Amino acid sequence: MTAPAAAAPRVYWLTEEFFPPERGGTGVIASRLAQGLAKRGVSIQVITRQTLPPSLEREVVGNVGIRRIPPPGRLKGVGWRALPAMFSYMLRITFLLITEWRQYDVVMVSGMKIIPIAAVPICRLLRKPCVVRVESPFEIVEPISSESLGMMNKARGRILAGALKMFQRRAITRAHCVVAISDDIANLLKRFEPPLSRILNIPNAADLELYEPIPGDEREQLRKRLGFPVGSTIALYVGRLSRAKGLMMLLEAWRTVTATHPSALLVMVGSGKGSWDDCEGEIVEYVRGHDLKAHVTLTGQSDRVHEYLQAADVFVSPSDYEGFSLTLVEALGCAIPVVTTAVGAAPQIIRDGVSGFLCPPKDVEALRAAIELALQRRTSWSSIGRLGREAVAAFDIPNVVERYMELLRQLHG
């Protein structure tokens, strides 16, 4: 039962990215959860970093107030240049939390890289509950990205990384609660010394009313509208066109697959623009250089991702790592077979060969074999897809929002 609006807490949600306009997984999930909680009567004020190019400093989207503060742009993969911006951002957060302490009851933080270092101590001082969502295992094992470290003096970079890791861990062990979005993250958090006071496993939320299978006749019409060639077998990738997503490995595997499956077409939906490890240009060159134009199509960014998933035959996710992999859940929601590396939440969701196909990351031959197996199991696609959708039913937005409502009731009393 929904708690009365009068009893609902006032929440400040701190995140480095938020949708709109940011489309990264962290920003999209923060938006879904914030909007879901607001509909349940929770007062939500989002404080996020300004985008580049700049967006409105203040606006209301749905029932959620959004405030964007400097500095703009991305901090990942820029080396020492990130330090002034990072300290500026933490100081601004500290100032807001102290000066506006009467305006919130609970603080939610997306990510453990920078924000908790400022937010957790202030919340402790003011006796306000602070919840930290860990968005990726790499937030735990890489306090500074390897790309940034590569741009730094090695010795000084290691010293900075060690200090940052110490501050991050000190902050997160003092948070009132830490949310792990996958078993992989939860297992890493359990190794912390001193141990965390409370770890909750709450997955990311997917809109399974939007991402759902459609009848066969509608699906055929959709394939025509999307321009899929008649008789083609469509393998779909959706996401950033970045190196960390394993896309160059996917193309290498796909080149071999098309030799035995001449009707196979890989459709890649997304863009590398704005990504610290953009590989869109490399993809275009690889396709041209290996004469794959008939077997690989790049659509660019799209607002119709659910339609591509509903119309595709197989979904492929070759990522080197994932915090959760929301698009994977959305693909399973559309009841199509998925081939994915065993990262993020994939191993806890998918039964290999039953509700999808798993392979180890960074292994091109294993990926090729998994794609081949999926294509060979065409007669089982319907049952595999049905089991996949059943496996993600608990990740529907209302179910996940209710988990957060329960947490807020406990914290707010």
| Range scoring the smallest mean pLDDT among 59-68, 180-189, 200-209, 272-281 | 272-281
Structure tokens at 133: 């969502």
Answer whether residue 268 is part of any domain.
yes
Per-residue confidence band for 154, with pLDDT thresholds at 50, 70 and 90: low
Of 142 and 116, the structure prediction assigns the larger pLDDT to 116
Residue 210 falls within a domain, yes or no?
Answer: no
pLDDT tier, 35 (very low <50, low <70, confident <90, very high otherwise) = very high
Amino acid 323: pLDDT: 86
On whether both 70 and 184 belong to a single domain, the answer is yes
| pLDDT cut 90: percent of the chain above it | 80
Question: Does 51 score more than 70 pLDDT?
Answer: yes
Contact 276, 240 (CB under 8 A): no
Q: Give 155's pLDDT tier (boundaries 50, 70, 90).
A: confident
Query: Do 290 and 351 share a domain, yes or no?
Result: yes
Q: For residue 153, what pLDDT is reported?
A: 61
| CA separation for the pair 24, 61 (Å, rounded) | 18
The pLDDT assigned to 142 comes to: 74
The answer on 310 and 248 residing in a single domain is yes
pTM equals 0.88
The answer to whether residues 171 and 24 belong to one domain is yes
Q: Are residues 175 and 223 in the same domain?
A: no
Least Cα distance to 137 among 162, 174, 112 occurs for: 112
Domain identity same for 235 and 332? yes
Higher confidence at residue 245 or residue 8? 245
Residue 100 lies in a domain: yes
Residues 155 and 246 grouped into a single domain: no
Structural domain of 32: 5-205+396-412
pLDDT tens digits, one per residue of 387-406: 999 999 999 999 999 999 99
Residue 25 lies in a domain: yes
Question: Confidence class of residue 206 from pLDDT cuts 50, 70 and 90?
Answer: very high
Q: What is the pLDDT of residue 238?
A: 97
Same domain assignment for residues 199 and 223? no
* Out of 78-87, 143-152, 371-380, least confident range: 143-152
Write the CB contacts of 338 (distance below 8 Å, at least 6 apart in sequence): 314, 315, 316, 317, 328, 331, 332, 350, 356, 357, 388
Please, are residues 16 and 110 in contact by the beta-carbon 8 Å criterion?
yes
Domain count, the chain: 2
Placement of tokens 């939320």 in the chain: 205
What gap in Å lies between CA 130 and CA 13, rounded to an integer?
A: 10
Q: What pLDDT, on a 0 to 100 scale, did the predictor assign at position 250?
A: 98
pLDDT at 4 over 50: no
Name the residue among 376, 296, 307, 288 with its Cα closest to residue 337: 376
Q: Are residues 403 and 378 in the same domain?
A: no
Together in a domain, 161 and 263: no
Average pLDDT over residues 156-171: 84
pLDDT at 2 over 60: no
Kindly state whether residues 229 and 157 are assigned to the same domain: no
- Asked whether residue 119 is assigned to any structural domain, the reply reads yes
Q: Is residue 372 part of a domain?
A: yes
Largest separation between any pair of C-alpha atoms in the chain: 65
Residue 327 has pLDDT above 80, yes or no: yes
Whether residue 113 lies inside any domain: the answer is yes
pLDDT: which is higher, 384 or 8: 384
Whether residue 177 is found in the same domain as residue 285:
no
Q: Which CATH number fits the domain that encloses residue 50?
A: 3.40.50.2000
CA 96 to chain centroid, in Å, comes to 27
The pLDDT value recorded for residue 1 is: 40
Strands, E assignment, 56-117: 58-61, 64-69, 106-110
Averaged pLDDT of the chain? 92
Give pLDDT tens digits for 215-237.
Answer: 999 999 999 999 999 999 999 99
Residue 317 lies in a domain: yes
Q: How far apart are the C-alpha atoms of 174 and 280, rounded to whole Å? A: 41
What percent of the chain is modeled with pLDDT above 70? 94
Q: 177 pLDDT exceeds 70?
A: yes
